[in-house]
Amino acid sequence: MVVAVDALFEPLTFPCGATAPNRVWLAALTNGQSNDDGTLGDDELRWLTRRAEGGFGVITTCAAFVGADGKGWPGELGVDDDRGLPGLRRLASELRARDALGLVQIFHGGVRAPRAETGGQPWSASTWSEGAADFEPPRPATEEDLARVIGQFAAAARRVTDAGLAGVEIHGAHGYLPSQFLSRVFNQRDDRWGGPLAHRARLLREIVRAVRAAVPRGAVVGVRLSPEDFGYARGLDLDETVEVARWLCDDGVDFVHLSLWRVERPTVKRPDEHALSIFRAALPAAVPIVAAGAIWTPADALATLARGAAAVALGRAAIVNADWARLARQPGWEPRRPPVTEAELAAIAVSPRFVGYLRKFKNLVAD
C-alpha cells in the first residue's frame, strides 16, 4: 500500500477526544538537561520548543521520574513533586503557542535507579545479579512499594495535566520497572505480582487504571511497550505483549507506542510478520499505534504508516533535523544524517550537556 506524504500531516484524534495536529512525534529522549532538583531546565525547554517550531505535532519529554527512588540518571526531569509545576506550566504554554500537543513520559527505573541517584538500594520485582561491575542487585518489592509507586504514577499524571499539558506516556518499555515486572526473567515472584502473565501485568495495568482515574476525561494516557527482547528489555514474549496491549486498551489507554528499534525489521518470534501488523490486527481500531525505530526519511515514515501505525515517533532524526516535520512536506527532501558537529547541534537547540550524552553513540557527534 502506497501512502501519500499528506497522511503524515492529518490530525490524529485519540479515544479521550484530544487531537494532535499531525502524525509526527518527537520521541522521549534522555538528554540530561534538567536541573539537579528535577525541575525543567532552560536547555530542555529550548530543545523541546525548537522541535515544536519545526512542526512536530506531538512533543514528548524525556523520561520523568515519578518518585525519588525511581530516578535513573543525572539531569533527569522529575514530576514527583509540586516544585516542578512552574516549569511544566511554562512548557505547556510554550508548546500550545506553537500548536503542538505536549506529553510527559512518566517513569520509574526500578533496578535501573541507582543508589548514586536515589540514595537507596534499587528495588524491582525480584532480586538477581549480573556480571557488570556497577550492577546493584535489587531488593524485591514489598506490597508497600507497589502501592506507593502506583500512587506516584497517578499523582505525577495529575500534576502534568494540572500544569496544562495534554497528558502522559507511561514508560512500560526498555527494561524499566513495569517492564521488569512483565519479564519472565526478572520477575520470579510467586505472589499476585508474579507467575502467570495476568499477575506479571498487574503492576502496569494498575498504574494505567490509577492514572486514567487521576486525570481529566480529555487527557491523553498512553503507554510505551517493548514487544520483544532487546537491550535491557529481557524476558518478553511477543504474544504476551500483544495480550498485555489488549488489556491496556480495555483499561483505557489512548495509544500504544511500540519501541521497535529498527522499524523495517520483522519480529524475531515470527520472522514472516511485522509487529505493526500483528498489533494492529489485535487492538481496537480506535486506539492508535505509534511506532519508533530508526525512522529517518519521509519514505520510512510513510512505510511505517502503511504497516499499520497511526503516527511515527522520531528520535535521532529529530535530534539532527529540528525542522523534519516542516521540511518533510517538500517533494524530494532528504534529512541530514550524522555525524554532525557540536556547533551544528547547538544551532538547533542541543545543549553541550546533551551533546555529552550523545557522544556515547558511535558516529553521531563529529569529532
User: Looking at residue 133, what is its pLDDT?
Assistant: 85
311, part of any domain? yes
User: Looking at residue 2, what is its pLDDT?
Assistant: 56
286, part of any domain? yes
User: Looking at residue 1, what is its pLDDT?
Assistant: 57
Q: Count the domains in the chain.
A: 1
User: Looking at residue 132, what is its pLDDT?
Assistant: 85
> Helix, strand, or coil here: 41?
coil
Query: What is the spatial distance between Cα 233 and Cα 31, in angstroms, rounded to a whole number?
Result: 20
Active site residue 357: no
- Which grid cell is 299? 519514505
- The one catalytic residue among 47, 176, 193, 357: 176
342, part of any domain? no
What type of residue sits at position 187? Answer: N
355, part of any domain? no
Give yes or no for a contact between 353 and 330, defined as CB atoms under 8 angstroms apart: no
- Listing DSSP states for 109-150 in one string gives -GGGS-HHHHSS--EESS----S-TT--PPEEPPHHHHHHHH
Cell 526478572: give the residue.
186
Nearest CA to 22 out of 7, 10, 6, 13 is that of 10
Identify the CATH number of the domain in which residue 298 sits: 3.20.20.70
Query: What is the spatial distance between Cα 115 and Cα 136, in angstroms, rounded to a whole number?
Result: 8
Query: Residue 6: CB partners within 8 Å, gap ≥ 6?
Result: none
> Helix, strand, or coil here: 49?
helix
345, part of any domain? no
> pLDDT in tens for each of the 367 residues of the chain?
557 899 999 999 999 999 999 999 999 999 999 999 999 999 999 999 999 999 999 999 999 999 999 999 999 999 999 999 999 999 999 999 999 999 999 999 999 999 999 999 999 999 999 888 889 999 999 999 999 999 999 999 999 999 999 999 999 999 999 999 999 999 999 999 999 999 999 999 999 999 999 999 999 999 999 999 999 999 999 999 999 999 999 999 999 999 999 999 999 999 999 999 999 999 999 999 999 999 999 999 999 999 999 999 999 999 999 999 999 999 999 999 999 999 999 999 999 999 999 999 999 999 8
363, part of any domain? no
CB atoms within 10 A of CB 96: 15
358, part of any domain? no
Query: What is the spatial distance between Cα 171 and Cα 6, in angstroms, rounded to a whole number?
Result: 30
Rounded to whole angstroms, what are the CA distances from 296 to 146, 321, 359?
Answer: 39, 10, 19
361, part of any domain? no
Nearest CA to 287 out of 259, 311, 262, 269 is that of 311
Q: Which domain holds residue 19?
A: 5-336
Nearest CA to 150 out of 193, 92, 89, 102 is that of 193
CA angle 324, 330, 336 (to 5 degrees): 40
